[in-house]
A and B are shown apart, each in its own frame.
Chain A
Amino acid sequence: MTTTTEQPPTMTEGAVPVEGPGAAAAREVPTPVARMWRGRPALSPGALKGDTVWHALIPVAILSLVILIAPVLAPYGATEVNPVGPLASPSPDAWFGTDEIGRDVFSRILIGIRTSWFAALGVILLGTIIGGLIGAIAGAFGGKVDMVLMRVTDLFLSLPAPVLAIAVIAAMGPSLRNTLIALSIVWWPWYARIVRGEVRALAARPHAEAAKLAGVSRTRLVLKHLLPGAAAPVIVTMSLDVGNLILALAGLSFIGLGAPPPAPELGAMSARGLQYLFGHPWVPIAPAAAVALLALAANLLGDAINRRLDQRTTR
């Protein structure tokens, strides 16, 4: 064992871009084990599993709950017609006015926000699971498996994700489910990179060596001793990605690659309202503004989570 000559741990290998998806990976986020190695007090097993990491997600859960129940406040259903008539201006009876067939824009926006938010979370989750699995396999096996998996990952990272997503949805047929699948297909490589890097870095640490010597199986080694260390950087990346995904989903929905009408999707609502921009600007602008607000909330939350976990790991 070469533990006595271990360098202070550094972050993932390979060049990771500084912004965009996977932004957090570029920054140095030492793992809990890394902190231990620097002579800090030994951490309890709870901390090793990253309990603090999960606490940082509480605001996300609260916001999700609010978004989930907000449509209760909607005075009308998604396809229900407001009696004030079509293309009515904003008024106390129709807060954001009505669209060309008299549906209440405010109600449709509340429901549309719910779709956008959970769709974005769904893509992140799916992307993390796929990427995490591939990254963990690559990191744990190393050698040829690692090389092949990382070449595939690099290929996806070398292609324009939005264009690829458009092609995938167009091939499978436009629907919300297919949009989620397509975005996950272009989103996982970032997570594969991060997880693989963390797993590789942790596998060289003394606790992993000790576990190996104790005869722990490879599966258990990866699941119990290596993957938990990747939680913090992955969660930071996830939280910074939600805003980007909300924008990506809205853009795809705008060009008709989302749930088919009459589903209240923010991007599609804005696109269909485009022709009323001059007489009735609220029809296309209100849903677009809702996308901006939702993405802003996500970006502020992501920023907060990022700073909090940063504090935890660098102090």
Chain B
Amino acid sequence: MGALVLRRFGALLAVLFGLACIVFVLQTVIPSDPARAMVGANASQEAVAAKKAELGYDDPLPAQFTQYLQRLAQGDLQSSLRTRNEVTADLREFAPATFELAFSAFVLAAAMGLGLGLLLAGGGRAGRVIRVFLIGGASIPAFLTGLLLIVVFYSWLGVLPASGRVGDNFIVPDGPTNLLIVDSILNGTPDLTLDAIKHLILPALTLALLPALAIARTLSTSLEQVSREDYVRTARSKGLTERTVLLKHALRNSSGPALTMSGLQVGLMLGGVVVVERIFAWPGIGLYIDQSIAYSDFPAITGATLLLGTAYVLVNFFVDLAQAWADPRIRTV
């Protein structure tokens, strides 16, 4: 297991370096002029040229690349053209909201995927109904899910809020984690906790739906395959109930593909946060990207890309390790 962790860690570093390279390539092919954007449209030619030299855009590409890597290593992502703040500072401000949303959605997706997958593999009438539901559900764009949830739960039933992280009548605490639910529990304000959870339900559900369906499909397929294996037949012929066979014998060996799928779905979710945060006015990285797009704020977008890309690679690193833990056969590979 130790060697595996080391090897995967090496791969992780290589992928992160690759990500940095891709972002650098994007920066060099970008048609707009970042120096002009920074000094403003009315600045003189000399001011633009001076800014260009200051930013190092006159240097040869290899020198620019080394500079870029040095800045990355120091956590310097330049300044946003829109907010005029350091991108790092902006990201630090918006990241907790997105983390809260994506993490809840991921847990929700995993739980729903597990439940649906087991129901599907259990067969019977429920399985068939769910199968139809899966094909249909996989065709629904996240923004339709979001709109319908808002119409039903906010507009019609009036039980859940449809925008933001918290109601206007609450004072948002200053920390320590900036995760609203965690902070409100630490500060002992149960009203705020309840309100934050209420605000989280609809966006998290919207973000979780498609990944949950994908996880369920993968899990049920691999459960079906494993169910045909000899050891499962042995378990059945011993007289164990179908439930015990499924949960105690088949599930662990079928979890590999479902875990991989969960990791891959995080990629879909990180793209989805942009859409979901816009619909629910959720003040996170997605909304930051959405607003930066309108301003062609490239430093902000690359910074967010680097952050989300790194998060994705890290999650999949841990998924890999979880898989090796669940299935010892993988450890030798």
A interface residues (Cβ-Cβ under 8 A, vs B): 15, 17-20, 155, 158-168, 170-174, 243, 247-248, 250-251, 254-257, 267, 270-271, 274, 277-278, 281, 284-285, 288-289, 291-293, 295-296, 298-300, 303
Contacts and interface: CB of A to CB of B under 8 A. Distances in A.
25 contacts: A20-B214, A155-B14, A159-B22, A161-B267, A163-B270, A163-B305, A163-B309, A164-B309, A165-B271, A166-B274, A166-B289, A166-B293, A170-B301, A171-B301, A173-B32, A250-B143, A256-B293, A256-B294, A267-B141, A271-B143, A271-B278, A274-B147, A277-B155, A292-B144, A299-B139
Given A20-B261, A172-B31, A256-B290, A167 B301 contact: yes
A130 B215 CA distance: 29
Interface in B306-331: 308-309, 312-313, 316
Contact of A18 (B135, B147, B221, B292): B221
A299 B151 contact: no
A166 B301 contact: yes
A162 B301 contact: no
Given A243-B138, A255-B274, A158 B316 contact: yes
Given A164-B309, A277-B150, A18 B261 contact: yes
Contacts of B298: 170-171
Contacts of A291: 141, 144
A104 B144 CA distance: 20
Interface in B13-36: 14-15, 18-19, 22-23, 26-27, 29-32
Given A155-B14, A166-B305, A267-B141, 13 more contacts: A18-B257, A20-B268, A160-B308, A162-B271, A163-B270, A163-B309, A173-B31, A257-B293, A277-B155, A281-B151, A285-B144, A291-B144, A299-B138
Nearest to A158: B15
B136 interface: yes
B272 interface: yes
A158 B221 CA distance: 24
A168 B30 CA distance: 9
B293 A19 contact: no
A164 B18 CA distance: 12
A168 B298 CA distance: 10
B166 interface: no
B305 A296 contact: no
B266 A160 contact: yes
Contacts of B265: 20
Contacts of A251: 141-143, 271-272, 274-275
Nearest to A155: B18
Which 4 pairs of residues, A with B, have the shortest CB-CB distance? A162-B271, A160-B267, A288-B144, A295-B139
A221 B300 CA distance: 48
Given A19-B261, A160-B312, A172-B31, A155 B271 contact: no
A274 B294 contact: no
Contacts of A293: 139
B218 interface: yes
Interface residues of B, number: 63
A19 B257 CA distance: 9
Interface of B: 11, 14-15, 18-19, 22-23, 26-27, 29-32, 135-136, 138-144, 147-148, 150-151, 155, 210, 214, 217-218, 221-222, 257, 260-261, 264-268, 270-272, 274-275, 278-279, 289-290, 292-294, 296, 298, 301-302, 305, 308-309, 312-313, 316
A206 to B, nearest CB: 30
B15 A267 contact: no
Contacts of B217: 19
Given A170-B293, A300-B135, A162 B270 contact: yes
A250 B289 contact: no
Contact of B141 (A167, A247, A298): A247
Contacts of B221: 18
Contact of B147 (A172, A174, A277, A303): A277
Nearest to A249: B141
B15, B29, B139, B309: most-surrounded residue (chain A CB, <10 A): B139
Contacts of B294: 256
Contacts of B155: 277-278
A20 B271 contact: no
Given A270-B143, A271-B278, A299-B135, A163 B267 contact: yes
